[in-house]
Structure 1
Amino acid sequence: MPPYTQSRHDNHHHHRATNFISGIRLLSFPDGFNLDYDRGANLDHYMESLAKAGPLNLSNLIKQHYHHTKLSCIISNPFVSWAVDAALENGIPCAMLWIQPCSLYAIYYRFYKLNQFPTTLISNMIIELPGLPLLHTEDLPSFLLPSNSFGGVFKLLSDMFETIKKYKWVLANSFFELEKEAIESMTELCPIRPVGPLVPPLLLDQHQSLDVGIEMKKPDETSLDWLNKQRPHSVIYVSFGSLAVLSAKTMEAIATALKNTKHPFLWVVKTAGQLPLGFEEETKTQGLIIPWSLQTKVLAHPSIACFITHCGWNSMLEAFVAGVPMIAYPQWSDQPTNAKLVVDVFKVGLKLKPGPNGVISNEDIEECITQMLSGPEFEGFKKNAAVLKQAACEAVTSGGSSERNIRLFVNKIARRS
């Protein structure tokens, strides 16, 4: 994800930032492009250009706003590795916040730094790495595969791991109890300290009135009223995030499966034109279709039975904390590996597997839904999801694994100031 630059700040007029905590100041810097430039049209070009303009503009922002105040630390995400150079230029220690699973950190580190992969990755190859399940080629993050069309992202990751020793700390949006083996496998190489799950207090059973966050789009709040009318653990929630674009055949397969199961469903579809003709009318008493959802509140709702997801890490963490089992349909990036973890490590769901033509069938989707809601593994999925929910909540409470890491991090910064 690109950083929160001036253009993104100015162009997010339709986004919602609510109730920022007192003491937090939101600043932005120019990314070198006009407001009307389509930053998603050529991601490689945009990120390459940003890497040239970013260090100077970030450094200027630091000098402009903090010339009389010493910054204690800069925390950056892994896709703007140039931020660490701007930090060091100004004498500020830098921490990286890894925004994917710690398991992905371990995979990338061993790929870029230790060369523990075959020279050429071919189909059906098995990769064995410490702290991780056996991985087939299709379980690897898409940026490592020969089919990867985002060469710029491959280079971004390569650059980040080349500069990894410049970071004073590597933090992660995960928690120790979730990825114990992967985290411990990195202890002697380049430690990563989980400080998550970084989710709203609502999901953590911390009943705070403060609602902090930025909505990428205006959510449809009618979904909560609709969910209130459904039976507990009865609704199939379907959402594939803000970036995934599914084919017409895939959309038709999902629509047919949802209709055939006769379970109530809540489906996030960006534009109604993506749906099969007549589907919305045919299922108006069975389901609800909305353009964007209040996902954390939806997942926390007692009527939700399972979540059909693309396996973006934020969505997965929200599902873990809500105790909701998942049906995985990964698309790209870290998602194939995340889906592998859902099935084989966390054991809270099933994975949809495309057929020889690359498209999932409605029969396979229906079978997965049946297995998730009433199959022989049904109780196991619910139990494992409940265990992860409790572990996630405990990790961020006083004395929990993530809370201790945050306290350690803050204390080290305080001693340096």
Structure 2
Amino acid sequence: MVSSEGVEVMMVTLALQGHMNPMLKLAKVLVSKGVHVTLATNDVARKRMLDSKISTHFTSDNCPGRICLEFFSDGLSHEFDRDKDTGTFIASLKANGPKNLSNLITHLKANGNQFSCIISSPFITWVPGVATEHGIPCSVLWIQSSTVFSIYYHSIKSPNLFPSLENPNEIVQLPGMLEFTVGDLPTFMLPSSPPHFQLWVAEFISVLDKVKWVLGNSVHELEEEAVNSLSSVKPINPIGPLVSPILLGKEETVEGSVDMWRAQDSCIEWLNKQAPSSVIYISFGSIIMSTENQIHSIATALKNIKRPFLWVVKASEARKHEFPTGFLEEIEREERGLVVSWCPQEKVLMNRALACFVTHCGWNSALETVVAGVPVVAHPEWTDQPTNSKLLVDVFKIGVRMRNCGEEGVNAEEVKRCIMEVVNGPGAMEMKKRAMELKEAAKKALEDGGSSNQNIDKFITEISAKPYSNNV
């Protein structure tokens, strides 16, 4: 183990499930290596965690390090719907966040904290500037794929590499990477994307000059071409997969979770009663709201497939979109399926009953399904999800992509076709075999001598060196 005595870092992220999870998991990795971690986020997280009866302070007697949670205001009330009105949220955060985070750092330093590095989520582009003001070197934890990082980087630094982004079938070829279509690109780049998302991409790439290290929640061996192609322009150091130790076959060494929604553990009891490789798991993450057509199409397909299923439908969706008449009563009567408002996804994915995962392809979910060795039905919606779908289906080769059928979106026949292709089609066995191979490669990366473990040790060694410098 590298020497990390006295090393302390601050991690800054947004109070969003997909942002907090990889940050906390990196925090746990650093703590296991003796680093002290302060995780700072906008203070709406405090209310969400208290509402869910989750501790806002983590310590561990089993590790030489510790994790502490701190909060700063984004300028909005706890009741403001940040998911619904992202434009106002981002503007308020940009206006109020720098001063409030800076005041927090000043307060913590006055109380004896000596930060060797600030690790920021990429979606808070003003954090490197705050780090510079305090003379603290800055790192970014890139929480999406290395491929998406490369696409964003080249879109700003070499826009001539991209064709018109109006035609979704237009071909895109970037240095050292596989061929994409415009429809495979992150939606933030497209003309149809809200301006504040396009501005965020430009701001993020421009602020990289103030960032000394880019850490990536990925595995070198999974995205070797993308990682290698960045080495001469802006290196990215994969340190993933940042998933819970239980998914890697290990025990948790640091207590604490920051789940913003209460998981329903009853689904694990139900899964344990199902036959191996029999259950279809459907979940579209914490942000995307399913449409009425999606709800009805999936329900109809599941009814016709007649296989056991576990379906996560957020409570807000269930109220807004009624299920087909008699659907819930029928599955309860037949004890063939389970609909829940949330679930402990990693425990679900590692359960022997799982046959496939119907997913929106958020990067956290993509990595979790790779580490679990579970094939996928990809149904991307926005942001990096189309690119992740391309990776899962065409690069990793562990699933199929569900296609929309006209303006109404996906239909029941397409849902059924994709699920059956993954669980019982002519290529199903090869997908499962490939999934198990990637599972072993991902786990090996975090072991002693593995590529991700080496990158983490190198990072700790470098932030331990003094004097510190923000020069990149």
Taking structure 1 as the reference length, the TM-score comes to 0.96
Q: 1:34 aligns with which of 77, 89, 112?
A: 77
Q: For residue 336 of structure 1, what is the aligned residue in structure 2?
A: 386
Pairwise CA RMSD of aligned residues?
1.6
Match 1:278 to one of 326, 333, 337: 326
Deviates more, 1:259-268 or 1:20-29: 20-29
2:299 counterpart (246, 255, 259): 255
1:10 paired residue number: 47
Q: Secondary structure at the match of 2:49?
A: coil
Q: Return 315-324 or 264-273, whichever deviates more.
A: 264-273
Deviation of residue 120 (structure 1)?
4.5
What does residue range 81-230 of structure 1 map to in structure 2 within 5 Å?
A: 81-115=125-159, 116-118=161-163, 120-148=165-193, 150-208=194-252, 212-230=256-274
Mapped to 2, the partners of 1:212 and 1:389 lie a distance apart of 25
Deviations 1:190-237 (A, max 9, x none): 000011111110000113475542112111111011001000110000
Matched residue SS, 2:140: strand
Query: CA distance change for structure 1 residues 244 and 40 in 2, over 3 Å: closer, same or farther?
Result: closer
Are the counterparts in 1 of residues 188 and 201 from structure 2 also a CA contact under 8 Å? no
Partner of 2:67: 24
Q: How far did residue 70 of structure 1 move?
A: 2.3
Unpaired stretches in structure 2, ≥5 consecutive residues:
1-12, 16-40, 61-65, 468-472
1:138-162 alpha-carbon deviations (Å, 9 max, x no partner): 11111111111x2212111211101
Q: Tell me the alpha carbon deviations over residues 163-208 of structure 1, each in whole angstroms, 9 at most, x when there is no partner.
A: 1111010001111111111100101010000111111100001134
Classify 1:211/1:224 alpha carbon distance in 2 versus 1 (closer, same or farther; 3 Å). farther
Shift in Å, 1:13: 2.3
Q: Does 1:64 align with 2:107?
A: yes
2:391 aligned partner, one-letter code: L
Q: Which ranges of structure 1 fall in alignment gaps of 5 or more residues? A: none
Sequence identity, in percent? 42
Residues paired across the two proteins, number? 416
Measure, in 2, the Cα distance between the counterparts of 1:147 and 1:32. 28
- The Cα shift of 1:38 comes to 2.6
Superposed displacement of residue 358, structure 1: 4.1
State the alpha-carbon separation in 2 of the partners of residues 357 and 404 from structure 1: 47
Q: Report runs of 4+ in structure 1 exceeding 6 Å deviation.
A: none
Give the TM-score normalised by the residue count of structure 2: 0.85
Q: 1:17 to 1:199 in 2, by over 3 A?
A: farther
Amino acid at match of 1:292: W
Matched residue, 2:373: 323
Query: Residue 34 of structure 1: CA displacement?
Result: 2.3
Instruction: Tell me: CA distance 1:239–1:11, structure 2 relative to 1, closer, same or farther (3 Å).
Output: closer
**Aligned-pair CA distance for 1:370:** 1.4
Q: 1:386-397, aligned counterparts within 5 Å?
A: 386-397=436-447
Q: Deviations over 1:71-96 (max 9, x none)?
A: 10000011101000100100000000
Provide the rounded CA distance (Å) in 1 between the counterparts of 2:118 and 2:180.
34
Matches within 5 A, 1:344-359: 344-359=394-409
Instruction: Give yes or no for contact 2:144–2:216 (8 Å, CA) kept in 1.
Output: yes
* Rounded Cα–Cα distance in structure 2 between residues aligned with 1:315 and 1:98: 15
- How far, CA to CA, are the matches of 1:24 and 1:369 in structure 2? 41
Q: Secondary structure at the match of 1:350?
A: strand
Cα deviation code 1:344-400 (max 9, x no counterpart): 101000000011234212111111111111111111111111011101111111111
Q: Say if 1:352 and 1:360, in contact at 8 Å, map to a contact too.
A: yes
In structure 1, the partner of 2:352 is: 302
| Equivalent residue number for residue 408 of structure 1 | 458
Distance 2:285 2:145 in 1: 17
